[in-house]
Structure 1
Amino acid sequence: MSSPTVTNPGQRYDLGYVEGEYYGVWDRTSSDIVERFPLSDEGWTAAWRRWQSMGQGASAAATSEFGGVPETGTGLSAPSASAPMWRDAESGPVTRPGGVTAAAVILIILGALACIFGLIAIIGAFAVQGLFEDFALGGIERGTVTGVLVVVAILLLGYGVTTLISGIKTLGLNNAWRVTGIVMASIGAAFWLLGFVGSFSSADEIDFETSTFTSGGPNYGSMALSLAMLALNVVVIVLLAKNGRVFTRR
Structure 2
Amino acid sequence: MLELKGINTYYGNIQALRNVDITINVGEIITLIGANGAGKTTTLMSVSGVVPPRSGEILFEGKKLNGCSPEKIVKMGICQVPEGRLIFPELTIMENLDMGAFLREDPAGIKDDIEMVFSLFPILKERRRQEGGTLSGGEQQMLAISRALMARPRLLLLDEPSLGLAPLIIKQIFEIIKKINEENGTTVFLVEQNANLALKTAHRGYVMENGEITLSDTSENLLSNEDVKKAYLGL
TM-score by length of structure 1 reads 0.23
Larger CA Rg, structure 1 vs 2: 1
Q: Relative to total residues, which structure has the larger helix share, 1 or 2? A: 1
Q: Relative to total residues, which structure has the larger strand share, 1 or 2? A: 2
TM-score by length of structure 2 reads 0.24
